Amino acid sequence: MHDTTLYWIWLSELAGLSLKKKRTLLAALGNPEQIFRASATTVDDVLHGSGSSSSVAEGAKGFSLESSWKARNLEIAETILANNEKSSIMVLDATSPYYRHIYEADEKAPLVLYYRGRLCDPSIPVVGVVGSRACTSYGRLVTKAAVSDLVGEGSIVASGLSFGIDALAHETTLACGGITYAFLPCGLHKAQPASHADLMERIADTGAVITPYAYGREALRFRFIGRNDLLASWCNTLLVIEAGMKSGSMHTARSALSKAKQVLAVPNSLLEPKSSGTNLLLSEGAHAYLNDRLVVNDSFVQTCSGEEVVAKALASRPLSTTELEAWVQIGDGPVMECLASMELAGKVSFLSDGKWHLVGGL
């Protein structure tokens, strides 16, 4: 198994050949080790037909298949595998029962994924929940209601570990005792953002953190796009809570629509810029997300017994969610439950400094 994984990583990291060509080689030669052991002539014949002379210039940057093939080795793959073993990182390749159905359904799905934690039975539905980093109180309320429903239904909740809706989706899932997957735009040597390192560890305790990028790869801009595409591929359904017109959540939603996934968008006022994208998605093939519990006086909107404790903690100075969860002890429910009901009642507000502020005093 170790040797098989080594060759999958080698092929995934192999420069100069597109994913499409790597898939062509797999279809013709069977597995990555067979590709590694094949001659340059054999590889060239598979890619371009017998007698081709195209190996001299495979790409615009002057890639030479013949010279590159002579220099091929397993050093990069061996280093990645060694780092994985030190950090308890596991590998999914295209033959894994947890990933094969996703890989086969999406021609752009990576050859290899890396993960920490534990993966659930592939038959369990996965629902992606994404939205704005600078979300509104409306967005947070809908996220909490939607995620609590999804956990109750037995679904796995997936998101991108980012600020705002993503983090709240993960946090709410954990608070409800559910399973959540986080998809990262970097290697699993770190969290992205770094401030979510603790959240990442808590997710991995019962669920999984997943990425298409090897240990040590940093979160470059194009890797956020790759992360979004993978999230869209992995989900059965994608729920977009709030999204601006040019946001990452919009890219994820359109990627999911292109893969024929069910996309749900939360409707909102046309005057709310953070919902301009979700409103537009409703005209692009997404369906409206509706929740009967989100009505005035419904049972979801209720007073939390720990509100007085939270209010006293915020009376001295604004605090982040993490600080509140670390310092405030509430016997009858998690801090997030109290913050949600207090925010809805206009007692607290989450501002751009990333902290909760008491509104109007005790």
Q: Which domains does the chain have, with CATH numbers?
A: 2-74 (1.10.150), 117-288 (3.40.50.450), 307-358 (no CATH)
Contact 132, 153 (CB under 8 A): no
**Mutual angle of helices 40-48 and 19-29, in 10-degree steps:** 110
Q: Determine the Cα–Cα distance for residues 249 and 280; give it in Å rounded to an integer.
A: 12
Return the sign of the alpha-carbon dihedral for residues 128, 132, 134, 140: negative
> Parallel, antiparallel, or unpaired: how do β-strands 262-265 and 237-240 relate?
parallel
- pLDDT of 62 reads 47
Q: In the chain, pLDDT over 90 holds for what percent of residues?
A: 64
Summarised one tens digit per residue, pLDDT across range 127-145 is 999 999 888 888 888 999 9
Summarised one tens digit per residue, pLDDT across range 265-293 is 998 888 788 889 999 999 999 999 987 76
- pLDDT of 59 reads 46
- pLDDT of 290 reads 85
- pLDDT of 325 reads 75
- pLDDT of 1 reads 46
Contact 135, 244 (CB under 8 A): no
pLDDT < 50 positions in the chain: 1, 53-62, 296-302, 331-333, 362
